[in-house]
C-alpha cells in the first residue's frame, strides 16, 4: 500500500526527532560512525504527493536511480510496480538484475551508443539524446522494437560554468526536425518528448517557458508526442542555498502553483496522453541522514571548529552549494554559538557548514546532517578512507545495507603492472 500523500509543510521538529530515533537504533544495533541511514517512506510519500496534484494528465513519478543508487530502495520501488529511469550501463544492469519489467524502464542520458549496444532488451524505452546516437543505435532499435523518444534542449538549459553557452544535453531546434525525419524514415515514430532543464529550479515559470519551446519545435517538426517527460529540477524540502535562502521559497506549500504551470503548458500538446516526472532530488533528499561523530574541538576568536569522522569530502559534496540542517543527536538546553563542522580529511574545503550548536558540545557527540538522500551515495569518495556503513530503516527496524569498506578492499583493488 502506498503511503498517504502529505504536503510540503512537514513539521521539521518531528522529522528531526524521527531521524534521531533511527540513528539511535543504528547505534544500538552496533553501527559505527560515520554512516548513512535511509528509509523508503519519505520517497514514496513525495511521489504520491506529486502524483496527486492536478496536472491535467495521468502522471507518473520515475525513480531516478542515479540520484540514490540504493539496492533496497530500487527493489522496494520495483515491487510496488513503479517505473525506473536509468542513465548508465551500471544502472540498467541494476534495474534488470532487480527484475524491473521492461515496460516500466526508461533509458535516458547522453552517449548511450558507447554502452547500450551490448544489451538486447526487446521493447526497451529509450530517449535519444543526439543525432549521432540515433544513427548508431537505429539498427538495434529496429531489431528489438524499442519505444523511442527525443530529448529536446530548450533555451532554459544553460551551462552554469560558462554563462551564455547552452548545456550539453538534447537536440536543438534544427536537430530535432532532422531526428524526427530520420526515425520516420526507418518506421520508428517517436512517442516521448523529453526535457530536463537543470537542478534546483528557483520557480515554476522555468517549466512554462521550457515546455512552450518544446511545443513550438515539435510543431515545426510536424510531431505530436503522446508522452511529455518534464524531467526533474524540483528542489528538495528543507534545503537552502549557501546564503541560507530556502530553495523552495518560490513554491507554495502544496506545490499547486507548480502543477498549475505545467497544466497550462500541457494544454498546448493536444496529442499528449501522459506526463512523466523524474524529480530525483525532490523525492529522495529527505529519505536519509548522515551520522558523524565529533573527534576533536578547537576554539578560536571566531568560535569553534569541530573535526568529525565524516564530512563534505567523503560524504556530502552537495554541501558545496547547499546548506542542510545539522543537528546534535543529544538534546541540550545549553546556549549555542557558531561551530564550523569539518570532516576528517586533509582538505581545507572539507566542511559541512558553519552552524549554531550547543556550547556543551563535546568530543564523542554525534551530529546528523539531514536531507542526505540525494546524490550523497553516488558522490561518496574514498579520500584516504574507505566507504562508510549504510543502514536501511523500514517498519520500525534497521538493518545493515552495506558494511564499511575494509583496508584490504580499499587497497587490493590495485594490481602490480
Task: List the CATH number of the domain containing 273.
Answer: 3.20.20.10
- The reply to whether 326 and 405 lie within a common domain is yes
pLDDT tens string 59-74: 999 999 999 999 999 9
pLDDT tens string 218-242: 999 999 999 999 999 999 999 999 9
pLDDT at position 7 is 43
Among 329, 352, 357, 361, CA closest to 27? 329
- The reply to whether 247 and 162 lie within a common domain is yes
Q: In the structure grid, which three cell numbers stand for residue 90, read together?
A: 551500471
The domain of 372 spans 286-411
Q: What is the mean pLDDT of residues 249-275?
A: 95
pLDDT at 200 over 90: yes
- The reply to whether 273 and 292 lie within a common domain is no
Distance CA 393, CA 74 (A): 14
Distance CA 156, CA 226 (A): 23
Does 28 reside within a domain? Answer: no
pLDDT at position 12 is 82
Q: In the structure grid, which three cell numbers stand for residue 139, read together?
A: 539498427
11 falls in which pLDDT band (50, 70, 90)?
Answer: confident
- The reply to whether 147 and 237 lie within a common domain is yes
pLDDT at 3 over 90: no
pLDDT at position 270 is 95
pLDDT tens string 90-101: 999 999 999 999
Does 375 reside within a domain? Answer: yes
- The reply to whether 122 and 260 lie within a common domain is yes
Q: What is the mean pLDDT of residues 285-311?
A: 96
Beta bridge partners of 147: 125
pLDDT tens string 180-190: 999 999 999 99
Distance CA 206, CA 210 (A): 6
pLDDT at 262 over 60: yes
Number of structural domains the chain divides into: 2
Q: Among the three residues 277, 302, 333, which one is the final residue of a domain in this structure?
A: 277
279: Cβ–Cβ under 8 A, 6 or more apart, which residues?
46, 50, 61, 64, 232, 233, 234
Contact 225, 152 (CB under 8 A): no
1 falls in which pLDDT band (50, 70, 90)?
Answer: very low
- The reply to whether 299 and 228 lie within a common domain is no
Does 386 reside within a domain? Answer: yes
Q: Among the three residues 238, 253, 277, which one is the final residue of a domain in this structure?
A: 277
Q: What is the DSSP letter of 171?
A: B
Does 45 reside within a domain? Answer: no
- The reply to whether 273 and 293 lie within a common domain is no
Distance CA 278, CA 61 (A): 6
> What is the CATH number for 375?
2.40.37.10
Handedness of CA 7, 8, 14, 19 (dihedral sign): positive
- The reply to whether 299 and 178 lie within a common domain is no
| Dihedral class, residue 55 (left if φ above 0, else alpha if ψ from -120 to 50, else beta) | alpha
Does 249 reside within a domain? Answer: yes
- The reply to whether 310 and 266 lie within a common domain is no
Q: How many CB atoms lie within 10 A of CB 170?
A: 23
- The reply to whether 115 and 240 lie within a common domain is yes
pLDDT at position 10 is 52
Q: What is the mean pLDDT of residues 198-204?
A: 93
pLDDT at 5 over 80: no
Among 245, 252, 155, CA closest to 198? 155
Does 69 reside within a domain? Answer: no
Does 77 reside within a domain? Answer: no
- The reply to whether 362 and 245 lie within a common domain is no
Q: Among the three residues 254, 277, 300, which one is the final residue of a domain in this structure?
A: 277
pLDDT at 4 over 70: no
Across all residues in the chain, what is the average pLDDT? 95
CA atoms within 13 A on the CB side of 356: 6
pLDDT tens string 94-128: 999 999 999 999 999 999 999 999 999 999 999 99
pLDDT tens string 21-43: 999 999 999 999 999 999 999 99
Q: What is the DSSP letter of 113?
A: G
* Maximum Cα interatomic distance, the chain, rounded to a whole number of Å: 72
Distance CA 361, CA 336 (A): 9
Q: What is the mean pLDDT of residues 153-165?
A: 90
pLDDT at position 164 is 87
- The reply to whether 120 and 265 lie within a common domain is yes
Contact 95, 65 (CB under 8 A): yes
Amino acid at each position: 500500500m502506498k503511503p498517504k500523500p502529505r504536503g510540503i509543510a512537514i513539521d521539521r521538529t518531528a522529522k528531526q526527532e524521527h531521524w534521531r530515533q533511527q540513528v539511535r537504533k543504528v547505534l544500538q544495533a552496533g553501527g559505527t560512525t560515520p554512516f548513512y541511514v535511509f528509509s523508503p517512506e519519505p520517497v514514496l510519500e513525495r511521489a504520491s504527493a506529486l502524483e496527486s496534484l492536478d496536472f491535467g494528465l495521468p502522471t507518473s513519478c520515475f525513480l531516478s536511480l542515479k540520484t540514490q543508487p540504493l539496492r533496497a530502495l530500487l527493489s522496494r520501488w520495483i515491487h510496488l510496480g513503479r517505473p525506473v529511469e536509468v542513465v548508465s550501463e551500471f544502472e540498467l544492469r541494476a534495474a534488470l538484475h532487480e527484475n524491473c519489467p521492461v515496460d516500466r524502464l526508461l533509458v535516458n542520458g547522453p552517449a548511450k551508443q558507447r554502452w547500450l549496444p551490448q544489451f538486447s532488451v526487446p521493447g526497451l524505452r529509450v530517449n535519444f539524446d543526439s543525432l549521432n546516437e540515433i544513427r548508431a543505435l537505429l539498427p538495434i532499435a529496429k531489431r528489438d522494437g524499442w519505444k523511442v523518444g527525443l530529448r529536446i534542449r530548450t533555451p532554459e538549459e544553460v551551462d552554469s560554468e560558462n554563462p551564455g553557452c547552452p548545456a550539453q544535453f538534447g537536440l536543438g531546434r534544427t536537430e530535432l526536425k532532422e531526428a524526427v525525419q530520420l526515425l520516420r524514415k526507418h518506421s520508428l515514430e517517436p512517442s516521448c518528448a523529453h526535457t530536463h532543464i537543470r537542478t534546483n529550479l528557483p520557480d515554476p515559470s522555468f517549466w512554462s517557458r521550457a515546455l512552450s519551446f518544446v511545443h513550438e519545435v515539435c510543431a515545426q517538426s510536424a510531431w505530436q508526442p503522446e508522452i511529455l517527460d518534464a524531467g526533474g529540477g524540483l528542489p528538495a524540502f528543507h534545503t537552502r542555498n549557501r546564503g541560507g535562502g530556502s530553495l523552495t521559497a518560490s513554491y507554495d506549500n502544496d506545490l499547486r502553483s507548480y502543477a498549475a504551470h505545467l497544466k497550462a503548458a500541457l494544454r498546448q500538446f493536444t496529442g499528449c496522453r501522459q506526463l512523466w516526472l523524474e524529480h530525483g532530488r525532490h523525492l529522495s533528499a529527505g529519505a536519509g541522514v548522515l551520522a558523524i561523530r565529533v573527534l576533536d574541538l578547537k576554539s578560536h576568536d571566531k568560535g569553534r571548529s569541530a573535526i568529525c569522522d565524516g564530512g563534505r569530502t567523503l560524504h556530502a559534496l552537495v554541501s558545496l552549494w547547499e546548506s542542510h540542517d545539522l543537528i546534535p543527536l543529544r538534546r541540550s538546553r545549553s546556549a549555542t554559538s557558531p561551530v564550523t563542522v569539518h570532516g576528517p580529511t586533509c582538505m581545507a574545503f572539507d566542511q559541512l557548514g558553519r552552524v549554531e550548536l550547543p556550547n556543551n558540545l563535546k568530543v564523542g557527540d554525534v551530529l546528523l546532517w539531514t536531507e542526505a538522500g540525494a546524490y550523497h551515495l553516488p558522490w561518496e569518495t574514498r579520500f584516504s578512507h574507505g566507504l562508510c556503513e549504510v543502514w536501511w530503516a523500514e517498519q520500525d527496524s534497521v538493518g545493515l545495507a552495506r558494511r564499511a569498506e575494509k583496508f584490504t578492499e580499499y587497497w587490493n583493488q590495485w594490481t602490480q603492472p
